[in-house]
Structure 1
Amino acid sequence: MVKRVIYIHGFNSSEKSYKAVRFGELMAHYDVDYYVPRLNHEPLQAIIELEQLITPNTALLGSSLGGFFATYLSQRYHIPAVVINPAVAPGNLLQPLLGANYNPYQDYNYELNNRHIDALKVLTLSELKHPELLYLLQQTGDEVLNFQHAVNYYSHCKQLIEFGGDHSFIGFERTIASIVDFLKLNKTS
């Protein structure tokens, strides 16, 4: 039984993202502890921070780069995860962003370099050993990531594919019931 849900935000985002906050409001009605850590831009540091929160009864919800991290952790720790418009191979995707970057949601500057790209490539899983633990929420109108990459990569997983939308996953609230069902969350008494 899931007792802890961790929301993992995406690249250059924060714990204050719309989906993180909205899902947190809904989790107040469920018998779970809800965590949304502010993640470091260093991929391996972010993974370490997330691993410290994982217990045997943990489930994950991740968006974009957070979906990539959720996939890795789900497969490593054998826990369920819902991934929303996830990055499939962020090591390749972030290559054009090497150099100076600014995270407006956390208000800090940092340097994205090849060490970060290499770390993401190390965390990339060539195949999903436990696809039954993953649920893909994908909109085809994602203007940031090629939706077909996720549909193919998660082909053996439960999927909800919506035509249109965008990278933020328009109408996220419509998916709440299916997320709760997939994660088998219990309402508070």
Structure 2
Amino acid sequence: MPTLLYLHGFDSSPGAKKAELLKTWIAENRPDIELLIPQLPFYPEQVAHFLEELMFDRIGEEIGIIGASLGGFYATWLSQCFMLPAVVINPLVHPAEYLIEYLDKPYQSRQGEVVILTHQHLDDFQVLQLPRIEAPDLIWLLAQTGDEVLPYQQAVEYYALCRQTIESGGNHSFAGFENYIPEVINFLGL
């Protein structure tokens, strides 16, 4: 059974709108696909360990990845480490730079957990940061210019050698994502 792994963004959850759209589409159109939507930890080292264990448990299986926002960062890292196809949606390209505003400040997540990002966490993001995409044919960037959270231009530049779909307008949630699901599943080879 092929597996689709969806990675949510910072302070998001398995109940995010895109995750729900995927659940519905998979149930109606491709029930043969196992959809995994884990609640990711907040800290990058924990996320990396969790994802590595997940991949090692599924060696040899057919896996595709979708990552949104910070999940796009993790999807990129996972794709390139394990040579798996990934679709990144309005991805956070440089989390160590972007999340510095949360440094050493208690932050209450939507799940009620209080988290504090430290310099060590930002260093951990830097460790996971790939200087360039080594296998660009494995990644498809979906971005909208109306993203109110992240500068889409960073993603366009970073993923320059990858397949790209850049839409005018839209938002950080990527309005109209449901229209891309069949093509995304096809790109992922599932």
Q: 1:101 aligns with which of 88, 92, 107?
A: 107
CA distance in 2, matches of 1:14, 1:90: 18
Could you tell me which runs of 5 or more consecutive residues in structure 2 were left unpaired when the two chains were aligned: none
Distance in 1 of aligned mates of 2:46 and 2:35:
21
**CA offset digits 1:89-117 (Å, max 9, x no partner):** 1100000111111111x221111111111
Work out whether residues 145 and 152 of structure 2, in 8 Å CA contact, stay in contact via their aligned partners in 1. yes
Matched, 1:157 2:148: no
In structure 1, the residue matched to 2:85 is: 80
- Which of these residues, 173, 177, 180, is aligned with residue 175 of structure 1? 180
> Take 1:83 and 1:61, find their aligned partners in 2: how far apart are those partners?
6
**DSSP-derived class of the 1:19 partner:** helix
Q: Deviations over 1:105-164 (max 9, x none)?
A: x22111111111110011000111100000100001111111000011111111111000
Shifted more, 89-98 versus 174-183: the winner is 174-183
Distance, in Å, in 2 between the alignment partners of 1:168 and 1:13 is 11
Q: Which residue of 1 aligns with 2:13?
A: 14
Cα deviation, residue 80, structure 1: 0.4
Cα distance in 2 for residues equivalent to 1:40 and 1:70: 15
Deviation at 1:42, TM superposition (A): 0.9
Deviating more after overlay: 73-82 vs 107-116: 107-116
Distance in 2 separating the partners of 1:40 and 1:146: 24
User: In structure 2, what residue type is equivalent to 1:96?
Assistant: E
Counterpart selection for 2:68 from 36, 39, 63: 63
Structure 1 residue 140 and structure 2 residue 165: aligned? Answer: no
Query: AA paired with 1:158?
Result: R
SS of the residue 1:167 aligns to: coil
8 Å CA contact 1:12, 1:102 repeated in 2: no
Q: Which range moved further: 108-117 or 77-86?
A: 108-117
Count of aligned residue pairs for this structure pair: 183
Equivalent of 1:90 in 88, 95, 104: 95
The CA distance in 2 between the partners of 1:79 and 1:181, in whole Å, is 14
The offset of 1:167, in angstroms, is 0.7
- 2:64 touches 2:189 (CA, 8 Å); kept in 1? no
Aligned-residue identity in percent: 43
**CA–CA distance in 1 between the matches of 2:114 and 2:77?**
26
TM-score, with length taken from structure 1: 0.93
Aligned residue type for 1:3? P
Unaligned runs of at least 5 residues, structure 1: none
What secondary structure does 2:87 align onto? strand
The answer to whether the 8 A contact 1:5-1:60 is kept is yes
Over 3 Å off, 4+ runs:
none
Normalized against structure 2, the TM-score is what?
A: 0.93
**SS of corresponding position for 1:45:** helix
Bigger fraction of residues in helix? 2
